[in-house]
Chain A
Amino acid sequence: MTEEELKPVIFRLLKGVAPDTEPETLKPDDNIRTTLEIDSFDYLQFIVALDEQFGMDTPEEDYGKIQTLHTLLAYLFQKAKKTV
Protein backbone atom coordinates (compact mmCIF):
# COMPACT_ATOMS: atom_id res chain seq x y z
CA MET A 1 0.00 0.00 0.00
CA THR A 2 1.18 3.51 -0.75
CA GLU A 3 0.94 6.50 1.54
CA GLU A 4 -1.93 7.87 -0.51
CA GLU A 5 -3.81 4.59 -0.11
CA LEU A 6 -3.12 4.33 3.61
CA LYS A 7 -4.24 7.81 4.56
CA PRO A 8 -7.95 7.35 3.82
CA VAL A 9 -7.90 4.13 5.88
CA ILE A 10 -6.33 5.95 8.84
CA PHE A 11 -8.83 8.80 8.50
CA ARG A 12 -11.70 6.35 8.47
CA LEU A 13 -10.46 4.62 11.63
CA LEU A 14 -9.99 7.96 13.39
CA LYS A 15 -13.45 9.00 12.33
CA GLY A 16 -14.73 5.75 13.81
CA VAL A 17 -13.50 6.59 17.30
CA ALA A 18 -14.16 10.33 17.08
CA PRO A 19 -17.04 10.81 14.65
CA ASP A 20 -17.24 14.59 14.90
CA THR A 21 -13.60 15.29 14.04
CA GLU A 22 -12.10 15.97 10.62
CA PRO A 23 -8.96 13.84 10.38
CA GLU A 24 -8.50 14.96 6.74
CA THR A 25 -7.40 18.35 8.04
CA LEU A 26 -4.43 16.86 9.92
CA LYS A 27 -1.05 18.10 8.76
CA PRO A 28 1.74 15.51 8.59
CA ASP A 29 3.41 16.72 11.79
CA ASP A 30 0.34 17.61 13.85
CA ASN A 31 -0.02 15.62 17.03
CA ILE A 32 -3.05 13.48 16.21
CA ARG A 33 -4.41 13.35 19.74
CA THR A 34 -4.10 16.98 20.71
CA THR A 35 -5.17 18.29 17.29
CA LEU A 36 -8.32 16.18 17.18
CA GLU A 37 -8.79 16.37 20.96
CA ILE A 38 -8.86 12.60 21.34
CA ASP A 39 -8.46 11.38 24.92
CA SER A 40 -6.45 8.37 26.05
CA PHE A 41 -9.50 6.12 25.98
CA ASP A 42 -10.40 6.98 22.39
CA TYR A 43 -6.76 6.73 21.34
CA LEU A 44 -6.61 3.23 22.73
CA GLN A 45 -9.72 2.40 20.68
CA PHE A 46 -7.95 3.83 17.63
CA ILE A 47 -4.96 1.56 18.23
CA VAL A 48 -7.30 -1.42 18.65
CA ALA A 49 -8.84 -0.50 15.29
CA LEU A 50 -5.41 -0.08 13.66
CA ASP A 51 -4.29 -3.47 14.91
CA GLU A 52 -7.43 -5.12 13.62
CA GLN A 53 -7.23 -3.37 10.26
CA PHE A 54 -3.58 -4.21 9.61
CA GLY A 55 -3.38 -7.48 11.51
CA MET A 56 -0.63 -6.29 13.83
CA ASP A 57 0.01 -5.99 17.53
CA THR A 58 1.18 -2.58 18.69
CA PRO A 59 2.92 -2.82 22.06
CA GLU A 60 2.33 -0.04 24.54
CA GLU A 61 5.93 1.17 24.36
CA ASP A 62 5.36 2.00 20.68
CA TYR A 63 2.49 4.40 21.35
CA GLY A 64 5.02 7.26 21.36
CA LYS A 65 6.04 6.38 17.79
CA ILE A 66 2.60 6.96 16.34
CA GLN A 67 1.76 10.46 17.53
CA THR A 68 1.61 12.20 14.14
CA LEU A 69 0.44 11.16 10.66
CA HIS A 70 4.03 11.27 9.51
CA THR A 71 5.37 8.97 12.24
CA LEU A 72 2.31 6.73 12.09
CA LEU A 73 2.79 6.12 8.36
CA ALA A 74 6.49 5.44 8.91
CA TYR A 75 5.58 3.00 11.67
CA LEU A 76 3.08 1.18 9.45
CA PHE A 77 5.58 0.88 6.59
CA GLN A 78 8.22 -0.43 8.94
CA LYS A 79 5.80 -3.00 10.36
CA ALA A 80 4.80 -4.06 6.83
CA LYS A 81 8.44 -4.56 5.84
CA LYS A 82 9.01 -6.82 8.82
CA THR A 83 6.09 -9.06 8.04
CA VAL A 84 7.00 -9.44 4.35
Chain B
Amino acid sequence: MIEFRMPSLGADMEAGTLVEWLVKPGDAVRRGDVIALVDTQKGLFDIEVFEDGTVENLVLKEGAKVPVGTVMAILNGTKEVVQKATKLEEAGAAREMPREVIAPVQTPPEIKASPLARRIAKDLSIDLSIIKGTGEEGAITKADVENAAAEKKQTPEQEMRAETAQQPSSPKEKTAATADSIRMAVAAAMSRANREIPHYYLETKIDMRKALAWLAEANKQRSVKQRLLPVALYIKAVAKAAAEVPQLNAYWEDGLQLKEAINIGVVISLRTGGILIPALRDAEKKSIDEIMEWINEIIPRARSLNLRSSDITDTTITLTSLAEGSAETVYGVIYPPQVALVGLGSISEQPWAENGMLDVRPVLVATLAADHRASDGQIGSRFLMAFKHYLQEPESL
Protein backbone atom coordinates (compact mmCIF):
# COMPACT_ATOMS: atom_id res chain seq x y z
CA MET B 1 0.00 0.00 0.00
CA ILE B 2 1.30 3.41 -0.92
CA GLU B 3 0.33 6.63 0.74
CA PHE B 4 0.36 9.38 -1.84
CA ARG B 5 0.99 12.62 0.00
CA MET B 6 0.80 16.32 -0.72
CA PRO B 7 4.27 16.90 -2.15
CA SER B 8 6.57 19.66 -1.06
CA LEU B 9 7.19 21.72 -4.17
CA GLY B 10 10.13 23.53 -2.65
CA ALA B 11 11.27 24.52 0.81
CA ASP B 12 8.90 27.45 0.82
CA MET B 13 5.70 25.45 0.38
CA GLU B 14 3.61 24.76 3.46
CA ALA B 15 0.28 23.74 2.05
CA GLY B 16 -1.49 23.05 -1.20
CA THR B 17 -5.08 23.03 -2.40
CA LEU B 18 -6.27 19.99 -4.31
CA VAL B 19 -8.05 21.47 -7.30
CA GLU B 20 -8.90 18.34 -9.23
CA TRP B 21 -8.31 14.62 -9.27
CA LEU B 22 -7.44 13.35 -12.74
CA VAL B 23 -7.85 9.71 -11.73
CA LYS B 24 -10.52 7.67 -9.98
CA PRO B 25 -10.39 4.62 -7.74
CA GLY B 26 -9.48 1.53 -9.74
CA ASP B 27 -7.42 3.43 -12.32
CA ALA B 28 -4.00 2.03 -13.13
CA VAL B 29 -1.28 4.67 -12.92
CA ARG B 30 2.26 4.64 -14.16
CA ARG B 31 5.31 6.45 -12.95
CA GLY B 32 5.22 10.01 -14.27
CA ASP B 33 1.45 10.12 -14.82
CA VAL B 34 -0.18 13.35 -13.77
CA ILE B 35 -2.88 12.36 -11.30
CA ALA B 36 -3.90 15.63 -9.69
CA LEU B 37 -3.89 19.39 -10.04
CA VAL B 38 -2.71 21.26 -6.98
CA ASP B 39 -2.83 25.00 -6.41
CA THR B 40 0.05 26.52 -4.46
CA GLN B 41 1.44 29.94 -3.85
CA LYS B 42 3.39 29.43 -7.04
CA GLY B 43 0.34 28.67 -9.12
CA LEU B 44 -1.20 25.46 -10.41
CA PHE B 45 0.92 22.33 -10.62
CA ASP B 46 0.41 18.97 -12.26
CA ILE B 47 1.21 16.38 -9.62
CA GLU B 48 2.85 13.17 -10.80
CA VAL B 49 3.16 9.73 -9.24
CA PHE B 50 6.58 8.17 -8.88
CA GLU B 51 5.62 4.49 -8.99
CA ASP B 52 3.39 2.22 -11.00
CA GLY B 53 0.26 1.08 -9.22
CA THR B 54 -3.51 1.22 -8.91
CA VAL B 55 -5.58 3.92 -7.26
CA GLU B 56 -7.36 2.43 -4.29
CA ASN B 57 -8.87 5.40 -2.55
CA LEU B 58 -8.93 9.15 -3.06
CA VAL B 59 -8.71 10.38 0.51
CA LEU B 60 -8.63 14.09 -0.11
CA LYS B 61 -11.63 15.95 -1.48
CA GLU B 62 -11.28 18.42 -4.29
CA GLY B 63 -11.06 21.93 -2.90
CA ALA B 64 -9.36 20.90 0.34
CA LYS B 65 -6.29 22.83 1.42
CA VAL B 66 -3.90 20.69 3.42
CA PRO B 67 -0.35 20.91 4.76
CA VAL B 68 2.55 19.30 2.92
CA GLY B 69 2.79 15.62 3.83
CA THR B 70 -0.95 15.04 4.21
CA VAL B 71 -2.13 11.77 2.68
CA MET B 72 -4.03 12.56 -0.53
CA ALA B 73 -4.70 9.08 -1.83
CA ILE B 74 -3.97 5.43 -1.25
CA LEU B 75 -2.43 3.49 -4.10
CA ASN B 76 -1.63 -0.17 -4.47
CA GLY B 77 1.80 -0.60 -5.94
CA THR B 78 4.15 -3.39 -6.68
CA LYS B 79 6.93 -1.71 -4.81
CA GLU B 80 6.74 -0.07 -1.44
CA VAL B 81 6.50 3.68 -1.60
CA VAL B 82 6.20 6.50 -3.97
CA GLN B 83 6.69 10.12 -4.08
CA LYS B 84 10.37 10.38 -3.68
CA ALA B 85 9.87 14.09 -3.56
CA THR B 86 7.60 13.93 -0.59
CA LYS B 87 9.66 11.41 1.29
CA LEU B 88 12.80 13.42 0.95
CA GLU B 89 11.49 16.78 1.89
CA GLU B 90 8.61 15.91 4.10
CA ALA B 91 10.54 15.60 7.30
CA GLY B 92 12.31 18.89 6.92
CA ALA B 93 9.29 20.69 5.62
CA ALA B 94 6.99 19.50 8.34
CA ARG B 95 9.44 20.01 11.17
CA GLU B 96 9.95 23.68 11.04
CA MET B 97 7.98 25.83 8.73
CA PRO B 98 7.89 29.58 8.57
CA ARG B 99 4.54 30.56 9.96
CA GLU B 100 4.04 33.96 8.49
CA VAL B 101 2.67 32.93 5.16
CA ILE B 102 -0.28 30.64 5.27
CA ALA B 103 -2.96 30.78 7.89
CA PRO B 104 -3.32 27.51 9.75
CA VAL B 105 -5.38 25.01 7.87
CA GLN B 106 -8.86 24.78 9.27
CA THR B 107 -9.51 21.52 10.99
CA PRO B 108 -12.99 20.18 11.42
CA PRO B 109 -13.32 20.79 15.19
CA GLU B 110 -12.90 24.54 14.63
CA ILE B 111 -15.99 24.64 12.48
CA LYS B 112 -19.12 25.34 14.42
CA ALA B 113 -21.84 22.96 13.35
CA SER B 114 -24.61 20.99 14.98
CA PRO B 115 -23.99 17.24 15.34
CA LEU B 116 -26.90 16.57 13.00
CA ALA B 117 -25.45 18.94 10.40
CA ARG B 118 -22.10 17.15 10.68
CA ARG B 119 -23.67 13.76 10.14
CA ILE B 120 -25.65 14.87 7.10
CA ALA B 121 -22.61 16.60 5.66
CA LYS B 122 -20.62 13.41 6.06
CA ASP B 123 -23.32 11.32 4.41
CA LEU B 124 -23.57 13.72 1.50
CA SER B 125 -19.80 14.21 1.22
CA ILE B 126 -20.05 17.92 1.81
CA ASP B 127 -17.05 19.83 3.09
CA LEU B 128 -18.23 21.81 6.11
CA SER B 129 -15.44 24.31 5.76
CA ILE B 130 -17.07 25.76 2.65
CA ILE B 131 -20.47 26.32 4.19
CA LYS B 132 -21.41 29.61 5.74
CA GLY B 133 -23.40 28.91 8.87
CA THR B 134 -26.63 30.78 9.63
CA GLY B 135 -27.14 29.42 13.14
CA GLU B 136 -26.05 30.84 16.46
CA GLU B 137 -22.58 32.43 16.27
CA GLY B 138 -22.37 31.32 12.67
CA ALA B 139 -22.84 27.65 13.46
CA ILE B 140 -23.77 25.45 10.54
CA THR B 141 -27.26 24.01 10.74
CA LYS B 142 -28.96 21.07 9.07
CA ALA B 143 -30.66 23.50 6.68
CA ASP B 144 -27.29 25.05 5.68
CA VAL B 145 -25.92 21.62 4.80
CA GLU B 146 -29.01 20.70 2.81
CA ASN B 147 -28.87 23.98 0.90
CA ALA B 148 -25.21 23.39 0.14
CA ALA B 149 -26.01 19.87 -1.02
CA ALA B 150 -28.71 21.17 -3.35
CA GLU B 151 -26.36 23.76 -4.83
CA LYS B 152 -23.66 21.20 -5.30
CA LYS B 153 -26.06 19.02 -7.24
CA GLN B 154 -27.08 21.86 -9.52
CA THR B 155 -23.68 23.16 -10.38
CA PRO B 156 -20.97 20.76 -9.41
CA GLU B 157 -18.52 22.46 -11.75
CA GLN B 158 -19.05 25.96 -10.45
CA GLU B 159 -19.15 24.75 -6.92
CA MET B 160 -15.76 23.19 -7.31
CA ARG B 161 -14.27 26.31 -8.77
CA ALA B 162 -15.73 28.53 -6.11
CA GLU B 163 -14.30 26.46 -3.34
CA THR B 164 -10.94 25.74 -4.84
CA ALA B 165 -9.42 28.97 -3.79
CA GLN B 166 -10.86 32.34 -4.44
CA GLN B 167 -9.70 32.02 -8.01
CA PRO B 168 -9.88 35.31 -9.82
CA SER B 169 -11.83 35.12 -13.03
CA SER B 170 -9.61 36.69 -15.65
CA PRO B 171 -6.18 35.27 -16.49
CA LYS B 172 -4.60 38.64 -15.79
CA GLU B 173 -6.00 38.78 -12.27
CA LYS B 174 -4.92 35.21 -11.78
CA THR B 175 -1.37 36.09 -12.76
CA ALA B 176 -1.35 39.08 -10.45
CA ALA B 177 -2.66 37.01 -7.57
CA THR B 178 -0.07 34.32 -8.22
CA ALA B 179 2.68 36.92 -8.41
CA ASP B 180 1.68 38.17 -4.97
CA SER B 181 1.72 34.71 -3.49
CA ILE B 182 5.03 33.85 -5.16
CA ARG B 183 6.43 36.96 -3.50
CA MET B 184 5.21 35.66 -0.15
CA ALA B 185 6.61 32.18 -0.80
CA VAL B 186 10.03 33.60 -1.64
CA ALA B 187 9.81 35.79 1.46
CA ALA B 188 9.14 32.79 3.68
CA ALA B 189 11.95 30.66 2.24
CA MET B 190 14.47 33.46 2.35
CA SER B 191 13.53 34.43 5.91
CA ARG B 192 14.06 30.85 6.96
CA ALA B 193 17.40 30.74 5.13
CA ASN B 194 18.61 33.88 6.82
CA ARG B 195 17.42 32.71 10.22
CA GLU B 196 18.87 29.22 10.07
CA ILE B 197 21.80 29.17 7.68
CA PRO B 198 25.16 30.67 8.64
CA HIS B 199 26.24 31.74 5.17
CA TYR B 200 29.81 32.29 4.06
CA TYR B 201 30.74 33.80 0.72
CA LEU B 202 33.61 33.30 -1.71
CA GLU B 203 34.23 35.11 -4.95
CA THR B 204 36.40 34.71 -8.01
CA LYS B 205 36.78 36.49 -11.34
CA ILE B 206 36.73 34.40 -14.46
CA ASP B 207 38.20 35.39 -17.83
CA MET B 208 35.42 34.45 -20.28
CA ARG B 209 37.29 35.15 -23.50
CA LYS B 210 37.81 31.51 -24.37
CA ALA B 211 34.31 30.45 -23.34
CA LEU B 212 32.66 33.22 -25.38
CA ALA B 213 34.83 32.48 -28.40
CA TRP B 214 33.94 28.80 -28.09
CA LEU B 215 30.23 29.70 -27.92
CA ALA B 216 30.44 32.03 -30.92
CA GLU B 217 32.15 29.32 -32.93
CA ALA B 218 29.62 26.68 -31.83
CA ASN B 219 26.72 28.99 -32.69
CA LYS B 220 27.96 29.65 -36.22
CA GLN B 221 27.08 26.07 -37.07
CA ARG B 222 23.71 26.18 -35.42
CA SER B 223 20.38 27.45 -36.65
CA VAL B 224 19.05 30.32 -34.59
CA LYS B 225 16.75 27.94 -32.73
CA GLN B 226 19.60 25.72 -31.59
CA ARG B 227 21.98 28.48 -30.53
CA LEU B 228 23.58 28.22 -27.13
CA LEU B 229 23.45 30.83 -24.40
CA PRO B 230 26.24 31.18 -21.84
CA VAL B 231 23.89 29.87 -19.14
CA ALA B 232 24.07 26.39 -20.73
CA LEU B 233 27.84 26.41 -20.09
CA TYR B 234 27.33 27.70 -16.56
CA ILE B 235 24.93 24.88 -15.71
CA LYS B 236 27.29 22.27 -17.07
CA ALA B 237 30.26 23.75 -15.21
CA VAL B 238 28.28 23.81 -11.94
CA ALA B 239 27.36 20.15 -12.49
CA LYS B 240 30.98 19.13 -13.04
CA ALA B 241 32.20 21.13 -10.06
CA ALA B 242 29.45 19.62 -7.87
CA ALA B 243 30.56 16.14 -8.94
CA GLU B 244 34.11 17.00 -7.87
CA VAL B 245 33.08 18.56 -4.55
CA PRO B 246 30.07 16.52 -3.42
CA GLN B 247 29.91 18.24 0.00
CA LEU B 248 28.14 21.15 -1.68
CA ASN B 249 25.61 18.98 -3.51
CA ALA B 250 23.77 18.13 -0.33
CA TYR B 251 21.07 18.92 2.21
CA TRP B 252 21.49 20.03 5.78
CA GLU B 253 18.83 18.12 7.70
CA ASP B 254 19.99 16.90 11.10
CA GLY B 255 23.48 16.84 9.72
CA LEU B 256 24.99 16.74 6.28
CA GLN B 257 23.29 14.49 3.74
CA LEU B 258 25.17 14.14 0.49
CA LYS B 259 22.96 13.72 -2.58
CA GLU B 260 23.86 11.31 -5.30
CA ALA B 261 21.96 12.97 -8.12
CA ILE B 262 23.01 16.45 -9.16
CA ASN B 263 19.79 18.37 -9.74
CA ILE B 264 20.61 21.99 -10.43
CA GLY B 265 17.93 24.54 -9.65
CA VAL B 266 18.09 27.45 -12.06
CA VAL B 267 16.58 30.70 -10.87
CA ILE B 268 14.13 32.12 -13.39
CA SER B 269 12.82 35.59 -12.73
CA LEU B 270 9.23 36.31 -13.62
CA ARG B 271 8.36 39.51 -15.39
CA THR B 272 5.72 40.26 -12.82
CA GLY B 273 8.25 39.90 -10.02
CA GLY B 274 9.24 36.88 -7.98
CA ILE B 275 11.25 33.84 -9.00
CA LEU B 276 10.70 30.18 -9.78
CA ILE B 277 13.49 27.62 -9.53
CA PRO B 278 12.94 24.58 -11.78
CA ALA B 279 15.66 21.95 -11.56
CA LEU B 280 17.59 20.19 -14.30
CA ARG B 281 17.79 16.61 -13.10
CA ASP B 282 21.03 14.64 -13.37
CA ALA B 283 22.69 17.67 -14.88
CA GLU B 284 26.14 16.06 -14.92
CA LYS B 285 24.88 13.46 -17.39
CA LYS B 286 23.53 16.03 -19.85
CA SER B 287 25.35 17.44 -22.86
CA ILE B 288 25.48 21.19 -23.48
CA ASP B 289 22.89 20.79 -26.23
CA GLU B 290 20.57 18.83 -23.95
CA ILE B 291 20.94 21.52 -21.30
CA MET B 292 20.06 24.21 -23.84
CA GLU B 293 17.02 22.21 -24.96
CA TRP B 294 15.91 22.06 -21.35
CA ILE B 295 16.35 25.84 -21.01
CA ASN B 296 14.33 26.47 -24.15
CA GLU B 297 11.58 24.28 -22.86
CA ILE B 298 11.51 25.29 -19.21
CA ILE B 299 11.75 29.09 -19.33
CA PRO B 300 8.52 29.67 -21.28
CA ARG B 301 6.76 27.11 -19.05
CA ALA B 302 8.03 28.77 -15.89
CA ARG B 303 7.10 32.23 -17.10
CA SER B 304 3.58 31.09 -17.97
CA LEU B 305 3.39 29.45 -14.51
CA ASN B 306 3.01 26.05 -16.07
CA LEU B 307 5.45 23.82 -14.18
CA ARG B 308 4.96 20.23 -13.05
CA SER B 309 5.75 18.91 -9.60
CA SER B 310 8.79 17.02 -10.90
CA ASP B 311 10.21 20.27 -12.31
CA ILE B 312 10.80 21.82 -8.92
CA THR B 313 11.39 18.99 -6.48
CA ASP B 314 14.65 17.39 -5.35
CA THR B 315 16.87 20.35 -6.19
CA THR B 316 20.32 19.75 -4.70
CA ILE B 317 22.15 22.99 -5.56
CA THR B 318 20.99 26.30 -7.01
CA LEU B 319 22.40 28.58 -9.69
CA THR B 320 21.39 32.19 -10.14
CA SER B 321 22.68 34.00 -13.18
CA LEU B 322 21.89 37.67 -13.69
CA ALA B 323 20.79 38.93 -17.09
CA GLU B 324 23.23 40.64 -19.42
CA GLY B 325 23.68 44.29 -18.66
CA SER B 326 22.73 43.98 -15.00
CA ALA B 327 24.85 43.96 -11.85
CA GLU B 328 28.29 42.37 -12.04
CA THR B 329 28.20 40.49 -8.75
CA VAL B 330 25.46 38.67 -6.88
CA TYR B 331 25.73 37.27 -3.35
CA GLY B 332 22.90 34.78 -3.07
CA VAL B 333 20.79 33.39 -0.28
CA ILE B 334 20.73 29.60 -0.03
CA TYR B 335 17.45 27.74 -0.51
CA PRO B 336 17.04 25.44 2.50
CA PRO B 337 17.65 22.56 2.97
CA GLN B 338 20.32 22.95 0.27
CA VAL B 339 23.79 24.02 1.37
CA ALA B 340 25.12 26.05 -1.55
CA LEU B 341 24.15 28.58 -4.17
CA VAL B 342 26.28 29.75 -7.10
CA GLY B 343 25.79 33.39 -8.08
CA LEU B 344 26.88 34.74 -11.46
CA GLY B 345 26.80 38.40 -12.42
CA SER B 346 26.61 39.77 -15.91
CA ILE B 347 29.79 39.65 -18.00
CA SER B 348 31.57 42.99 -18.29
CA GLU B 349 34.81 44.13 -19.86
CA GLN B 350 37.49 44.72 -17.25
CA PRO B 351 41.22 45.35 -17.10
CA TRP B 352 42.98 42.03 -16.70
CA ALA B 353 46.55 41.46 -15.57
CA GLU B 354 48.21 38.24 -16.67
CA ASN B 355 51.86 37.26 -17.11
CA GLY B 356 52.95 40.79 -16.30
CA MET B 357 50.79 42.27 -19.05
CA LEU B 358 47.64 44.30 -18.89
CA ASP B 359 44.75 43.49 -21.20
CA VAL B 360 40.98 43.96 -21.40
CA ARG B 361 38.87 40.82 -21.03
CA PRO B 362 35.20 39.86 -20.70
CA VAL B 363 35.00 39.03 -17.01
CA LEU B 364 32.43 36.98 -15.13
CA VAL B 365 32.32 37.38 -11.35
CA ALA B 366 31.30 34.09 -9.75
CA THR B 367 30.33 33.85 -6.11
CA LEU B 368 29.51 30.93 -3.91
CA ALA B 369 27.19 31.22 -0.94
CA ALA B 370 27.62 28.15 1.24
CA ASP B 371 26.28 26.86 4.55
CA HIS B 372 29.04 26.99 7.16
CA ARG B 373 27.40 24.19 9.12
CA ALA B 374 27.89 21.92 6.12
CA SER B 375 31.26 23.01 4.76
CA ASP B 376 34.24 25.27 5.32
CA GLY B 377 35.90 27.84 3.13
CA GLN B 378 38.47 25.40 1.84
CA ILE B 379 35.82 23.14 0.37
CA GLY B 380 33.90 26.10 -0.98
CA SER B 381 37.04 27.38 -2.62
CA ARG B 382 37.73 24.01 -4.23
CA PHE B 383 34.26 24.12 -5.74
CA LEU B 384 34.65 27.63 -7.08
CA MET B 385 38.11 26.89 -8.54
CA ALA B 386 36.76 23.78 -10.26
CA PHE B 387 33.91 25.85 -11.71
CA LYS B 388 36.40 28.44 -12.95
CA HIS B 389 38.62 25.78 -14.45
CA TYR B 390 35.77 24.29 -16.50
CA LEU B 391 34.66 27.67 -17.83
CA GLN B 392 38.20 28.43 -18.91
CA GLU B 393 38.34 25.19 -20.83
CA PRO B 394 34.93 25.10 -22.46
CA GLU B 395 35.94 22.29 -24.79
CA SER B 396 36.22 20.04 -21.71
CA LEU B 397 32.56 20.54 -20.83
Contact = CB atoms under 8 A, between A and B. Distances in A.
A10 interface: no
B351 interface: no
Contacts of A21: 271
B353 to A, nearest CB: 28
A20 B227 contact: no
A58 to B, nearest CB: 6
A57 interface: yes
A76 to B, nearest CB: 15
B238 to A, nearest CB: 17
Contacts of B325: 33-34
Contact of A40 (B216, B225, B324): B324
Interface in A44-71: 44-45, 47-48, 51, 57-61
A14 to B, nearest CB: 13
Contacts of A58: 224
Contacts of B355: none
Given A40-B324, A44-B227, A59 B220 contact: yes
B170 interface: no
B57 interface: no
Interface of A is mostly: helix
B224 A47 contact: yes
Nearest to B324: A40
Contacts of A40: 229-231, 323-324
A48 B344 CA distance: 26
Nearest to B322: A39
A60 B214 CA distance: 13
Contacts of A47: 224
Which one of A33, A44, A58 has the highest number of Cβ atoms from chain B below 10 Å of its Cβ? Answer: A44
B229 A60 contact: no
Given A40-B324, A47-B224, A61-B216, A20 B229 contact: no
B271 A20 contact: yes
B231 to A, nearest CB: 8
Interface string B222-235: 01110101110000
B324 A37 contact: no
B293 to A, nearest CB: 13
Interface in A16-42: 18, 20-21, 33-34, 37, 39-41
Given A20-B272, A40-B324, A57-B223, 11 more contacts: A39-B324, A40-B230, A44-B224, A44-B227, A45-B300, A47-B224, A48-B224, A57-B224, A58-B224, A60-B216, A61-B216
Listed from nearest, the 5 A-B pairs whose CB atoms lie closest are A39-B323, A60-B219, A40-B324, A48-B224, A51-B224
Interface of A: 18, 20-21, 33-34, 37, 39-41, 44-45, 47-48, 51, 57-61
7 contacts: A33-B325, A37-B271, A40-B324, A41-B231, A44-B229, A58-B224, A60-B219
